[in-house]
Amino acid sequence: MRQKILIATNNLNKIREIQNILSDFDLITPQELGIDLKIEENGNTFEENAEIKAESFCKASGMLSLADDSGLEVECLGGEPGVHSHRYCPQPNATDADRRAFLLENLKGKPRPWKARFYCAAALCDPKSSEIQLVHGICNGEIIPEERGNGGFGYDPIFWIPERGMTLAEMSENEKNEISHRGAAMRKIREILKKKDV
């Protein structure tokens, strides 16, 4: 019987992407196990936050647990919003649209292109050894001032990939996963899982 892997997040968008990228493995969600963890992501780096999440879900479930932490880094903003990508907008209960609007407001007057990258750190925590393996993935592009596309989530509608001539939100899920930061990180996780014979 194949070992199940817990996707260590409550974010439904992330769950969908990870399920799509790692569809050849036996993945399970916290909801399916009845696990409801609220984790304080207080690390200073994407790696620290990914480790915190993977370890917490691993301890709660006793299962091999896979977490990621990711965000947007904009060059002319000194790498902001970075690890605070989800909490970037000061407005309470901010939506993805609010965060995008806040980012574009902060970029006003700065010379274009607004070079940026998405960064993803993924952590796999093994319950038998408590060992955590870390990998990362990067997707380079630039921020554009108008939203394009209805796919993806987060900052995808304003994240332009020059080589493709479209934003991440204009791509199909498979196209996005081919070039995205999360896609790159999860392909490295796939190699680790194969070695573990999962």
Report, as residue numbers or ranges, the catalytic residues: 69
The token pair that represents 74 in the structure block: 């904009």
Tokens 């370890």 belong to residue = 55
Whole-number Å distance between alpha carbons of 55 and 75? 31
Q: Which residues contact 43 (CB under 8 A, 6 or more apart)?
A: 49, 51, 52, 69, 83
Closest CA to 161 of 138, 185, 136: 138
DSSP string, 71-133: EEEEGGGTT-BGGGGGG-S-STT--HHHHHHHHHHHHTTSPSPEEEEEEEEEEEE-TTT--EE
- The 3-class secondary structure across 123-163, one letter per residue, is EEECCCCCCEEEEEEEEEEEECCCCCCCCCCCCHHHEEECC
